[in-house]
Structure 1
Amino acid sequence: MSGTEGWGFTDDRGAELGAARVPLRVAAYVRAGAALLDLGVTPVAVYGSGHDGEELDPAKAGGLRAVGVPYLGPGRALGAEALSELRPDVIVDVTYDGKSPYALDEAVAERLGIPLVALSVSGELTLPAILDRFAALAASLTAAPGRSASGAESAVGPVPAAPASESAVGPVPAAPASESVPAPDLAAAEALLRSAAAGGGVAVLALSGAGTEQVHLARPQAWPELAHLAGLGVRLLDPGPGPGANWLTGDWAGVAELRPDLVLFDEREHATPPYALPSGVRLAPWNPETPPSPAAYARFFRDLAEALAA
């Protein structure tokens, strides 16, 4: 990457990416796209993961539907032709292993010569670190030519508004820049949650239903947002020893054995709603792919605080 380029960014695989001008047309994995929208960058289109179908999952959409961002279907089914028609300047995905993009075949972007940014959302990073990385990318994409990504604001600071993107679908008007209300104060939401969790009296279990016979129980320290909740005083139940780095897979009877007071259930469309829980257990939705933006996590923390206090 030469010093004369107008845009540069090093992603979480260590890939140094650059372009002669700041990218204006951003295609993104839906989780990344929803976060960028919150941070002032409106994607021209988003795509899903292998879990997703032909319609955008409402649980993962964030504000994308409200501003009319097109959804392209699962990323692994996208070919070079479909991406070429979008004319993106950059593609933004996430990575869990620090090596490969999660939802798109990188070879497709390589054949088209489109830079692909992959930002880590793995448990090796803290939630604040993940938020800061997305804020840094958004700042680089909304910067005047010549401003480096290293000059980005912190995740909890202001991010400049992005210029409106050109439409990705011909004569249809471009999706407007994000006009959402100002991001809720993340620090205030954390304080509210800390107060609601004080004393640790409510035992919380996070899970993802996988049918009537099977459920995945989250290991709190493997999930940045769950580890962050624990740091705020939320009493999260660990499912115990067994195979699986992020989840322990068992049956619904195992949920009862852990005796949770509150179940955080995976609200994504591919997950099975809570199937068989003991009487009196309270429920609260959880999106394991919450957009990595302060606004999205502030909403989650406030909703959880309300559920803990109920």
Structure 2
Amino acid sequence: MSAAQPWGFTDDRGTELGAARVPERVVAYVRAGAALLDLGVTPVAVYGSGHDGPGYDPAKAGGLDAAGVPYLGPGRALDEELLRELRPDVIVDVTYDGKSPYALDEAVADRLGVPLAALSVGNELTLPEILDRFRELGASLGAGAGAGAGGGVGGGTGSAAADSTGLAEAEDFLRGVAGRTGLAVLALSGAGPDQVHLARPQAWPELARLAALGVRLLDPGPGPGANWLTADWGRAAELRPDLVLFDNRFHAVPPYETPPGTRLAAWNPETPPSPAAYARFFRELAEALAA
């Protein structure tokens, strides 16, 4: 597809997007922008969510900060005039419910007259399906085709084939380590000294993928909450994990209470949906399990 041809893409809300030419100037939610960068599309800017502050969260930025991609702050507080000055051709967000963009009010895109693509990162899709959708969007935006005149394409971290091979190798490595060790793993997000959110593994596509690869993930048990069971740190300790996957985003807190000898490994619940990013995560987890 060349920049002279019409562009079309249907996002995961079923919204059909179109433009007279392939978009070159992409503004994205930070998670989506980091994935696009890995895939070969460099955003002109990214924005955060309601959890984010005025600067990049190192856990969520991926390669964006190093690549010099400007961060605009939380999406719900974006300066619309600044966004207009960036002249975006398309805005890319994520969706958890298949209905609404997560980090930006769609009315902002409507007022700017800019198409907004929202790709699902919720548990209605498997992790491989989520990665495939981001590949499809990246390919539609010219990933691997070289830099466009508007500075939107290029600057990725290697070919899609190489990244896919790296992910497959990381999964094989993790599968082997998980099978040998059989360690129990608990994923959680710290909320403070008296409260922790314990992840329900099947509610998170990447955790469900870990389970499919043989990682023995602990379920926190019955109680309210679709994605998390909110409890005190004593509940986390009662589950007796061998390894705790802790949320390392800026707004979360490190583990306050775990059984003696419990291993720790970082988990970003908003890992960029790219093969390269998940290959890194799977390798780091395998190394933590094998330590």
Indicate the TM-score class for this superposition, using the shorter chain for normalisation: over 0.9
- Tell me which amino acid in the other structure corresponds to 1:226: L
Moved more, 190-199 or 26-35: 190-199
Cα distance in 2 for partners of 1:276, 1:206 equals: 14
Q: CA deviation at 1:5?
A: 6.3
- Residue deviations 1:165-186, cap 9 Å, x none? 64xxxxxxx6993253563611
1:271 alignment partner in structure 2: 252
Cα distance in 1 for partners of 2:252, 2:176 equals: 30
1:246 alignment partner in structure 2: 227
Are 1:178 and 2:159 counterparts? no
1:194 alignment partner in structure 2: 175
Q: Contact 1:141–1:162 (CA<8 Å) still a contact in 2?
A: no
1:134 alignment partner in structure 2: 134
1:169 alignment partner in structure 2: none
What TM-score do you get using the length of structure 1 for normalisation? 0.88
Aligned pairs for 1:21-170 within 5 A: 21-142=21-142, 160-164=144-148, 166=150
SS of residue paired to 1:248 = strand
Cα distance in 1 for partners of 2:244, 2:72 equals: 32
Q: Contact 1:42–1:162 (CA<8 Å) still a contact in 2?
A: no
Cα distance in 1 for partners of 2:137, 2:146 equals: 12
Cα distance in 2 for partners of 1:90, 1:284 equals: 36
What TM-score do you get using the length of structure 2 for normalisation? 0.94
Q: CA deviation at 1:224?
A: 0.2
Q: Contact 1:265–1:284 (CA<8 Å) still a contact in 2?
A: yes
Are 1:203 and 2:184 counterparts? yes
User: What RMSD over aligned residues (CA atoms) do the two structures have, in Å?
Assistant: 1.7
Cα distance in 1 for partners of 2:13, 2:289 equals: 38
> Can you give the 5+ residue segments of structure 2 that lack an aligned partner in the other structure?
none
Q: CA deviation at 1:79?
A: 3.8
1:16 alignment partner in structure 2: 16
- Tell me which amino acid in the other structure corresponds to 1:261: D
Cα distance in 2 for partners of 1:189, 1:135 equals: 19
What is the count of residue pairs matched by the alignment? Answer: 284
Q: Contact 1:90–1:117 (CA<8 Å) still a contact in 2?
A: yes
Cα distance in 2 for partners of 1:16, 1:160 equals: 24
Cα distance in 1 for partners of 2:111, 2:215 equals: 46
Q: CA deviation at 1:70?
A: 0.1
2:242 alignment partner in structure 1: 261
Cα distance in 2 for partners of 1:189, 1:46 equals: 28
SS of residue paired to 1:215 = strand
Are 1:225 and 2:188 counterparts? no
1:282 alignment partner in structure 2: 263
Q: Contact 1:200–1:233 (CA<8 Å) still a contact in 2?
A: no
> Can you give the 5+ residue segments of structure 1 that lack an aligned partner in the other structure?
143-158, 167-173
SS of residue paired to 1:17 = strand
Cα distance in 2 for partners of 1:161, 1:210 equals: 43
Q: Contact 2:44–2:152 (CA<8 Å) still a contact in 1?
A: yes
- Tell me which amino acid in the other structure corresponds to 1:295: A
Q: Contact 1:193–1:232 (CA<8 Å) still a contact in 2?
A: yes
- Tell me which amino acid in the other structure corresponds to 1:230: A
Q: CA deviation at 1:17?
A: 0.2
Cα distance in 2 for partners of 1:203, 1:223 equals: 17
- Tell me which amino acid in the other structure corresponds to 1:236: L
1:150 alignment partner in structure 2: none
Distance 1:165 1:190, change over 3 A: farther
SS of residue paired to 1:198 = helix
SS of residue paired to 2:46 = strand
- Tell me which amino acid in the other structure corresponds to 2:198: L
Q: Contact 1:217–1:249 (CA<8 Å) still a contact in 2?
A: yes
